[in-house]
Amino acid sequence: MTANPARRRPVIAGNWKMNPDTQEEAVGLATEVADRVQDMSAISVLCPPAVWLIPVAAAIGGRVGVGAQTMAAEERGAFTGETSPLMLRGIAEWVIIGHSERRQYNGETDETCRHKVASAVAHELRPILAIGERLEERRAGATAAVIDRQLRIGIADLQRIAGSSLAIAYEPVWAIGTGNAATGDDAQAAAAQIRGILRERDLEGADQVAILYGGSVTPDNAREFFAQPDIDGALVGGASLDAAGFAEIVACAAELRG
């Protein structure tokens, strides 16, 4: 099997977004996921809302990775509502940076992502930098240009890629929450472009980076993505709220790329 020449371990991250409503539900979901995936040879990561990070981390007891959905670049200070990298350390190992919903509703830009990615790495958190084009950008033929810009700026402050624990999620905005996933071929084309840009920066380090696809990933279509040579996992939204379905996606990644 030559699909995974660099032997990257697959990463399946569940982005719960602003769900569920109660701590009891969050702990129940996390526990059920951990029970189902703990022996699988893929890295699973759960990214609950900040307020559920501690009870979720306690419930899964290290059997599954924990990630935050965002964080401030700064360590402390007058940043109302924010969570700092110092606060996350010891609770989460991962953090999603620059999700398109943060860009759309919270004013995050390529520049803020640049600071946050560098801050995450400096604080030994694994950033999952989310990039991807909007529908109008795709229609204008600007997909490759958007990926190029968001990625180059997002990683501009990293000294090196090797050893940075960086992950990149290609999430075309038009595919998020729509049921209209990208094709495996389109996702692979974006992932190969991303890998190429990373290689320009760091030939050796580029092969260490997990590149994930996100946007309407389900147990039914996961195989199409994990069969691609440059796609090392998925960032899963809606389907991550169902423990059995999420575990099926993890099992598929483990089978094809573990």
Interface residue list for ligand 13P (CB under 6 A): 15, 99, 171, 176-177, 214-217, 235-239
Minimum gap (Å) between residue 130 Cβ and ligand 13P: 6
* Beta-bridge mates of residue 66: 46
* Shortest Å distance, C-beta 203 to ligand 13P: 29
Question: At its nearest, how many Å lie between ligand 13P and the CB of residue 197?
Answer: 21
Task: Choose, from 101, 171, 224, 248, the residue flagged as catalytic.
Answer: 171
* 99, 108, 133, 224: the active-site residue: 99
Task: Look up 99 and say whether it is catalytic.
Answer: yes
**Is 171 among the residues known to form the active site?**
yes
Are the beta carbons of 123 and 91 closer than 8 angstroms? no
What is the chain's percent helix, strand, coil content, to nearest 5? 45, 15, 40
Rounded Cα distance, 169 and 231, in Å: 9
Q: Which is nearer to ligand 13P, 131 or 158 (CB)?
A: 131
The strand pairing partners of 45, in sequence order, are: 13, 65
Beta strand ranges found along the chain (DSSP E): 11-15, 43-47, 65-68, 94-97, 126-131, 167-170, 210-214, 233-236
Coil, helix or strand at residue 169: strand
Structural contact between residues 128 and 96, judged by C-beta atoms closer than 8 angstroms: yes
Q: Which one-letter amino acid corresponds to residue 156?
A: A
Closest CB to ligand 13P belongs to which residue?
237
Q: Does residue 20 have a cis bond before it (omega within 30 degrees)?
A: yes
Instruction: Compute CA 202 distance to the chain's CA centroid, rounded to the nearest angstrom.
Output: 21
Burial class (CB in 10 A: 0-12, 13-18, 19+), 185: exposed
Closest approach, Cβ 128 to ligand 13P, in A, equals 9
CB of 104 to ligand 13P, least distance (A): 11
User: Is 232 within 8 Å of 10 (Cβ atoms)?
Assistant: yes
Shortest CB 37 distance to ligand 13P, Å: 17
Distance, in Å, from the CA atom of 40 to the CA atom of 149, rounded to the nearest integer, reads 35
- Whether 132 contacts 146, CB under 8 Å: yes
Residue number, 214 or 233, with CB nearest to ligand 13P: 214
202 or 215, CB closer to ligand 13P?
215
* Residues with active-site annotation: 99, 171
